[in-house]
Amino acid sequence: MTQKTLDDLFHETLKDIYYAERKILKALPKMARGAQDPRLKAAFEKHKEETEGQVERLQQVFEIIGKRPRAKTCPAIDGIIEEGEEILDEFKGTPALDAGLLAAAQAVEHYEISRYGTLRAWARQLGHREAVTLLDATLEEESDTDDALTKLAESAVNVAARKKAA
């Protein structure tokens, strides 16, 4: 059996998040179309643009470690996105739809924050300084998006869902 290293784990996890980001790119337009609140729709559209840049950064990280950008199926993100699609179907046209979509988007953000935090730590440990900078930029964007979604949920989306249901 071949000895696996932190380099191997870093590469495998990089392939995982590369798959996830590309999958998220496909899901965001559908979520934006389904959103009823214009601010939530705009948040999804903004995140799509950011995600395109994040995919480009990941491609640069692959280059830094001398590997070809390749995705590896990520069952976790597949499940999270599937839950978001179920919310779109089951809550379409209801006051709770946006609250559900926002919650699904935050589940995605939390997954990404976890992955990028881990990858950044490993890149630092492995001496990939350029990769640390790229991963840190993405981690900051993901955290900012999560914060913005929380503010939108607390100030408008969840409030609107509750008021309409009462």
pLDDT in tens, 78-127: 999 999 999 999 999 898 999 999 999 999 999 999 999 999 999 999 99
What pLDDT does residue 2 have? 86
103 lies in some domain: yes
What pLDDT does residue 75 have? 97
Q: How far apart are CA 123 and CA 115, in angstroms?
A: 12
Q: Radius of gyration of the chain from Cα atoms?
A: 17
Number of domains in the chain: 1
51 lies in some domain: yes
Question: Any idea what the CATH number is for the domain that residue 154 is in?
Answer: 1.20.1260.10
pTM > 0.85: yes or no:
yes
14 lies in some domain: yes
CB atoms within 10 A of CB 66: 7
1 lies in some domain: no
Residue 44 domain boundaries: 6-165
Instruction: From residue 142, give the alpha-carbon distance in Å to each of 2, 30, 66, 138, 162.
Output: 35, 19, 26, 6, 27
Q: How far apart are CA 152 and CA 77, in angstroms?
A: 23
